[in-house]
Structure 1
Amino acid sequence: MTEHSEQDTPLERVRLWDPAIRLFHWALVLCVVAAWGLGEFGPDVMTLHFYFGYAIVALLAFRLIWGLIGPKTARFAHFIYGPKATLSYAASLFERKPSYWRGHNPMGALAAFALLGLLIAQVASGLMGDPDDFINVGPLAQYVGSDTASLAIDLHEALAPLLLLLVVLHVATIAFYKIWKREDLIKPMITGWKWVRKSEDS
């Protein structure tokens, strides 16, 4: 039985994710996991934590640019959905069949924007934070007031568990799609190719 034989709707295999998006995705996974682990369990002098944080800044900058000028499925405009589309997809979420969505589905889009927003807030607070230890001071802390720098470090620490929660939910969702909906979301992010619903203009 092929991956698409259970679906009555005509399907086509397309190159969904471009190499730049795939490289961004896996590099971000590596950097976020490393930065979080070093922040929670690393040495007191967080030089490596900062380096991975700088890498995340670069990756986020790329994603923001690529979301405007990249291929169609990478652009933010491609996965901005209204309430009607989001609620309609949510109503069918637990159907035991693949969605064959062409890109980020409405629920996935919400998660993607939430993760990007949280990461931007996390790196911004880290860059401005000053823990008053005279060692792990963010490079932008000197340009903001001491109250702002202190608030930034508190925010940076408070957002870390929320970031972990989103990552865990992301992994759990991938497992849910694989086990319950019989749809592999990891392979397309490795190869770029995915079975999707055939478009009318194909």
Structure 2
Amino acid sequence: MTQHTVRIWDLPTRIFHWALAACVVALVITGKLGGNAMLWHLRLGHVVLALLLFRIVWGLVGGRWSRFAAFLYSPARLLRYLRGMPHPQDDVGHSPLGALSVFSLLAVLLAQVGTGLFSDDEIAFAGPLSARVSNAVVEQMTSYHEGIGQYLVLGLAGLHLLAIVFYVRVRRRLIRPMLDGDKLLASAVAPSRDDLGSRVAALLLLALCAGLSWWLSSLASAAGW
């Protein structure tokens, strides 16, 4: 059977994926260590915020298979996939189950970073926006961030790792496409754009997102922290 090598994951998406994974691991470690490590926890939180903002915009303008429109599946299609009746293109980019995982992780991480901006542990950490809201809001945000929020992140991250193990060991599908961007497919499909122009555009977009995240961090000093 003839197989086609197709660029599915553009370089910006691949870098985002691995950078986010590394930052989430580092955030968990620094959060558990506490003390002086919380300074790095705060910094990493701003890095993750910049990455998430980048991915949201890149999900609208990025490579074909990185766009949300490419893996925004209906509940009926998800059920068909779970019943073993997949659409021919379900596994080109994110599968219906993988898409559910992606959207869930993005939502949970956004909530975790967002509440972190308003959190205050009254010891070694104060989010840059915590001085701009009432104590009641700070308490609610801190409670979520330190409680259910972190467990949702850990739970979804664990499920994501289990899914990778399942695909590698059971379905015999490798994670190489998220390393080099290419997939071997039985039929040809339109590739994602991944040229110099798109990469430069992604770099400029990331710089803008990093600038916005840095500006939010500067609000802490403006408020007197």
> TM-score w.r.t. structure 1 length?
0.86
Pick from 126, 133, 142: which aligns with 2:131? 142
The alignment partner of 2:183 has SS state of: strand
Shift of 1:199: 4.6
Alignment gaps of 5+ in structure 2: 192-225
Flag the 1:146–1:102 CA change in 2: closer, same or farther, 3 A. same
Contact 1:67 1:74 in 2 (8 A): yes
Tell me the residue number matched to 1:183: 173
- Within a 5 Å distance, the mapping from 1:74-113 to structure 2 comes to 74-92=66-84, 101-113=91-103
Pick from 57, 72, 75: which aligns with 2:64? 72
Tell me the residue number matched to 2:146: 157
The alignment partner of 1:46 has SS state of: helix
Of structures 1 and 2, the one scoring higher in RCO (CA 8 A, sep 6+) is: 2
Alpha-carbon RMSD across the aligned residues, in angstroms, is: 2.1
The alignment partner of 1:43 has SS state of: coil
Count of residues in correspondence between the two structures: 188
Flag the 1:23–1:200 CA change in 2: closer, same or farther, 3 A. closer
Flag the 1:77–1:54 CA change in 2: closer, same or farther, 3 A. same
Over the matched positions of the two proteins, sequence identity in percent amounts to 38
Contact 1:100 1:195 in 2 (8 A): no
The ranges of structure 1 where at least 4 consecutive aligned residues each deviate by more than 4 angstroms after the TM superposition are 199-202
The alignment partner of 2:45 has SS state of: helix
The alignment partner of 2:120 has SS state of: coil
Pick from 110, 122, 126: which aligns with 2:112? 122
Shift of 1:42: 3.8
Contact 2:90 2:96 in 1 (8 A): no
Letter in 1 for 2:104: A
Contact 2:5 2:182 in 1 (8 A): yes
- Within a 5 Å distance, the mapping from 1:10-29 to structure 2 comes to 11-29=3-21
1:173 aligns with 2:177: no
Flag the 1:56–1:32 CA change in 2: closer, same or farther, 3 A. same
Letter in 2 for 1:132: E
The alignment partner of 1:129 has SS state of: coil
Shift of 1:198: 1.4
Distance (whole Å) between structure 1 residues aligned to residue 70 and residue 106 of structure 2: 16
Shift of 1:11: 4.1
Distance (whole Å) between structure 1 residues aligned to residue 183 and residue 142 of structure 2: 41
Shift of 1:12: 2.1
Flag the 1:64–1:196 CA change in 2: closer, same or farther, 3 A. same
